[in-house]
A and B are shown apart, each in its own frame.
Chain A
Amino acid sequence: MELKRVVITGLGALTPIGNTIDEYWDALKSGVSGAATITKFDASKFKTQFACELKNFNVEDFMDRREARRLDPFSQYAMVSASEAVANSGLDLEKINLERAGVIWGSGIGGLTTYHEETKQFVEGDGTPRFSPFFIPKMIVDIAAGHISMKFGFRGPNYVTVSACASSNNAMIDAFNLIRLGKSDVIITGGSEACVNEPGMGGFNALKALSTRNDSPETASRPFDLDREGFVLGEGSGALILEDYDHAIARGAKIYAEVVGSGLSADAHHITAPHPEGLGAISVMEQALEEAGLKPEDIDYINVHGTSTPLGDMAETKAIKHVFGEHAYKLNISSTKSMTGHLLGAAGAIEAIACVKALENNLVPPTINHFMDDPDIDPKLNFTFNKAQERNVRYALSNTFGFGGHNTSVIFKSYEG
């Protein structure tokens, strides 16, 4: 059976550095940090008192109060970016076959805010259970896909993938495969996360995963820098419309890029630490290249997982050098998490969008906040430090890795007809 070509025909973003696709790309190009002191709650007793929160986001600009109340923030964010992507795609919902239109979303954690608020109220009460009837349907991680399907009437495949920080890449890869196999014409994919709250910050702090650079939040996310000391938690959402190429052509859609390869693996090593030699990361990049029928030299840009943790950045660098050999020095590499923070289950989605925009504009967004080289990281690698670089980008690869040892890689190709 011949596999279908899969193209990207719509984009949506709600991120700490921009609330629409255009704002997001403008900020990525110019190297803006989204980190600042936390406004959502009083974090004065927390080791980390800053995060990459959304800015100037008012949910009631997008939905009425009643709908907003029924959605955890992670689902609200999902609805906002999915709506932008659907509008951007120009899909005519009256004309497409809705039975063959799916939603495959990603989120690492789901409704943590809702879980926290509901259990807090119970624990502080007299033991009488007064849980809201919306507690479970707001909290469960799959519900974002359900809400998106209800809004657009998409009755095809519908679920959420959960693999921590790899979640939305897993969602995208499933969407890619279902369309390739001819099971769906169009799928809304992407991911959302909303964990900038007390248990989210406290939990990641306890793991010693977060930067504690409270005196300089905007320089805290510094992937590959000598003084990197943890990631910066971010929140938000990214959405992509994946579509069967023939379907897109038949309706005259604007095609942004093509999805051509993917890789999936596990480290089988540790709950939070990456494999020190990056075995799982090597595997996914090799799989993605093979599936796309590419040689390492074909890749121009790698949007790395690069969270700004001491171990993670090192292991990923080793893996890239292993896979790409001498070509590693010719690549542009960047971690856009230096700007957006780490959106966990939404990271793959917003980073896929960064790749698509890099392909479209032949411009590689930077890794900001580079101050000092780390002698343990090869200085000959081009991490696109501090400033965007122009480059003819034909193929871009995006890595995301998740707690639990989940690894994913996706390759995007510029659309050439």
Chain B
Amino acid sequence: MSDVKSKVMSIIVDKLGVAEDEVSADASFTNDLGADSLDTVELIMEFEKEFNIAIPDDQAEKIQTVGDAVSYIEGNAK
């Protein structure tokens, strides 16, 4: 597992209180992992903090699954 992916997973497990095996690449934050709109805002903020990046709102809206987050961060991490 890539370093980015494992960090993303641990943030999701921590913030959403889900089990690690539920966090598959295609799991949707809202549909599969029980997040509401406030949770997803918080997840994006945690990704920004952990990876020291700024995710613009229009990009953040497109990050809906675990895989979306990993690929966005891998493509934009400094």
A contact set with B: CB distance below 8 Å: 64-67, 69, 130, 132-134, 137
A69 touches B17 (CB 8 A): yes
Closest to B41 in A: A133
Residues in A whose Cβ lies below 8 Å from that of B49: 130
The minimal Cβ–Cβ distance linking B55 to chain A, given in whole angstroms, is 12
- From B16, B17, B34, B42, contact of A132 by CB (8 A): B42
> How many angstroms from the CA of A268 to the CA of B31 in the assembled complex?
55
> How many angstroms from the CA of A130 to the CA of B45 in the assembled complex?
7
The minimal Cβ–Cβ distance linking B47 to chain A, given in whole angstroms, is 12
Q: List 13 A-B contacts (CB under 8 A).
A: A64-B17, A66-B17, A66-B18, A69-B15, A69-B17, A130-B45, A130-B48, A130-B49, A132-B42, A132-B45, A133-B41, A134-B42, A137-B38
Q: Mark B19-48, 1 if CB is under 8 A from A, else 0.
A: 000000000000000100010011001001
Residues in B whose Cβ lies below 8 Å from that of A67: 17
Residues in B whose Cβ lies below 8 Å from that of A65: 17
A133 touches B17 (CB 8 A): no
> How many angstroms from the CA of A90 to the CA of B73 in the assembled complex?
51
With contact pairs A133-B38, A134-B38 given, residues A66 and B45 touching in the complex (Cβ less than 8 Å): no
The minimal Cβ–Cβ distance linking A229 to chain B, given in whole angstroms, is 44
Residue of A64, A130, A133, A137 with most partner-chain B CB within 10 A: A133
- Sorted nearest first, the 6 A-B pairs with minimum C-beta distance are A66-B17, A133-B41, A133-B38, A65-B17, A133-B42, A64-B17
Residues in A whose Cβ lies below 8 Å from that of B15: 66, 69
> How many angstroms from the CA of A67 to the CA of B15 in the assembled complex?
10
> How many angstroms from the CA of A67 to the CA of B34 in the assembled complex?
12
The minimal Cβ–Cβ distance linking A47 to chain B, given in whole angstroms, is 35
Residues in B whose Cβ lies below 8 Å from that of A64: 17
The minimal Cβ–Cβ distance linking B30 to chain A, given in whole angstroms, is 14
Closest to A63 in B: B17
With contact pairs A130-B49, A132-B45 given, residues A66 and B38 touching in the complex (Cβ less than 8 Å): no
The minimal Cβ–Cβ distance linking A64 to chain B, given in whole angstroms, is 5
Residues in A whose Cβ lies below 8 Å from that of B45: 130, 132-133
> How many angstroms from the CA of A132 to the CA of B18 in the assembled complex?
20
> How many angstroms from the CA of A133 to the CA of B60 in the assembled complex?
14
> How many angstroms from the CA of A143 to the CA of B61 in the assembled complex?
27
Additional pairs, 8, CB under 8 Å, beyond known A66-B17, A66-B18, A137-B38: A66-B34, A69-B15, A130-B48, A130-B49, A133-B38, A133-B41, A133-B45, A134-B38
A66 touches B42 (CB 8 A): no
B16 touches A66 (CB 8 A): yes
The minimal Cβ–Cβ distance linking A403 to chain B, given in whole angstroms, is 33
Residues in B whose Cβ lies below 8 Å from that of A133: 38, 41-42, 45
The minimal Cβ–Cβ distance linking A130 to chain B, given in whole angstroms, is 6
Residues in B whose Cβ lies below 8 Å from that of A130: 45, 48-49
Residues in B whose Cβ lies below 8 Å from that of A132: 42, 45
> How many angstroms from the CA of A67 to the CA of B41 in the assembled complex?
16
Residues in A whose Cβ lies below 8 Å from that of B41: 133
> How many angstroms from the CA of A76 to the CA of B34 in the assembled complex?
20
Residues in B whose Cβ lies below 8 Å from that of A137: 38
> How many angstroms from the CA of A130 to the CA of B55 in the assembled complex?
12
> How many angstroms from the CA of A134 to the CA of B38 in the assembled complex?
7
> How many angstroms from the CA of A66 to the CA of B43 in the assembled complex?
13
> How many angstroms from the CA of A132 to the CA of B49 in the assembled complex?
12
Q: Mark B40-66, 1 if CB is under 8 A from A, else 0.
A: 011001001100000000000000000
Closest to B49 in A: A130
> How many angstroms from the CA of A353 to the CA of B53 in the assembled complex?
52
Closest to B37 in A: A133
Closest to B34 in A: A66
The minimal Cβ–Cβ distance linking A140 to chain B, given in whole angstroms, is 14
> How many angstroms from the CA of A63 to the CA of B37 in the assembled complex?
21
> How many angstroms from the CA of A137 to the CA of B42 in the assembled complex?
13
> How many angstroms from the CA of A64 to the CA of B38 in the assembled complex?
18
Closest to A137 in B: B38
The minimal Cβ–Cβ distance linking A62 to chain B, given in whole angstroms, is 14
> How many angstroms from the CA of A130 to the CA of B16 in the assembled complex?
19
Closest to A131 in B: B45
Residues in B whose Cβ lies below 8 Å from that of A69: 15, 17
